[in-house]
Chain A
Amino acid sequence: MLAMVIDDSRAMRSILRRIVVELGFDVVEAADGQEALDKMSAGEVPDLALVDWNMPVRDGLSFVTEVRANKEWRGVTLMMVTTEGEHAQIVRALAAGAHEYVIKPFTPDAIMDKLQILGLVGVPA
């Protein structure tokens, strides 16, 4: 399975990359929502997108809205990974079409738990 890590911080992309590679994903990266959309339009459509909220060029909420508006991308699972922790922001992201929401800082286990809930990784025996 392919995961796309979308965050303007290379350090954060590196952390998330290591976590999902450990869980068996191949990984592509994008530095903002527009770069992610461009890669998807070019054929790199992931099974899972880990999406930061606050990014230059195109933010995560706008990315989620665009992905959800495209029927060809309805199979993409969208997980926000962001510092935006207020209830109202979480509701906005879920209403826009995000499937899950993780607040930074997070542990690898927190990401794994969410991916298990989404059925994208197996539950350890």
Chain B
Amino acid sequence: MMTLALAPAELKSMVDEIWSSLFQPVPTDADDADMGSDLVVGFVDISGGWLGRVAVETTDAGAVAIASSMLAAEPHTLGDEDLADAIGELANIVGGSVKSCVEGQSSLSLPSVERQNVLRHGTSELMTVTTHWLDHPLRVRVQQIRVVEELTANGAHHLDAAS
């Protein structure tokens, strides 16, 4: 079983590096990030020897600020498609950085964006970075999907996700 060689402090450094490359200023540390019911989540899945999900979470207003910066567009001109594109690409970049810490060959899914928690059944939270950017809550979560071999009632083996 391959492993993810990444510590929480390194994930925070990754987030800072990504923000300093794409945006200004870098996010500030926060103890909590209350998203309320306004959640926007971009995520990618890593597959191969290590299975996991990397999610970037913010609020609708945070997503507007991110998309506005990436697209160099006025906030009032942005639609849901623009927010999804920007948050998805951000998840793709964070996910790619996390993937580089997986030992051995692995692959990255195309990004998806949802307006709800995307913690999968059978995943366990490995680490979370909670910050604020321009007063918007921002959270990066790395989750591991644990695959175990189970014996079904009829004796056949199948693979299932379990925490």
Q: How far is the CA of A96 from the CA of B88 in the complex (A)?
A: 28
Q: Given A83-B99, A105-B18, A107-B21, does the pair A11, B93 have CB atoms closer than 8 Å?
A: no
A residues less than 8 Å from B17 (CB atoms):
105
Q: How far is the CA of A84 from the CA of B22 in the complex (A)?
A: 18
Residues A14 and B71 in contact in the complex (CB < 8 Å), given A83-B108, A105-B17, A107-B21: yes
The one of A9, A56, A88, A104 in contact with B105, judged by C-beta atoms closer than 8 angstroms, is: A88
Question: What total of A-B pairs shows CB separation below 8 Å?
Answer: 59
> Are A85 and B92 in contact, with the CB atoms below 8 A?
no
Least distance between A57 CB and chain B CB atoms (Å): 11
User: Chain A interface secondary structure, helix, strand, loop or mixed?
Assistant: loop
With A56-B110, A105-B93: A10-B85 Cβ-Cβ less than 8 Å: yes
Contact of B96 among A15, A18, A84 (CB under 8 A): A84
Q: Which residues of B line the A interface, CB within 8 A?
A: 17-18, 21-22, 67, 70-72, 82, 85-86, 88-89, 92-93, 95-97, 99-100, 105, 108, 110
A101 CB → nearest B CB, Å: 13
A contacts, CB < 8 Å to B: 8-12, 14-15, 18, 54-56, 82-86, 88, 103-107
Complex contact B89–A12 (CB within 8 A): yes
Q: Could you show 15 A-B contacts with beta carbons less than 8 Å apart?
A: A9-B86, A11-B89, A14-B72, A15-B70, A54-B92, A54-B108, A54-B110, A82-B96, A83-B92, A83-B96, A85-B96, A103-B96, A105-B17, A105-B22, A105-B93
Q: Which residue of A lies closest to B23 (CB)?
A: A105
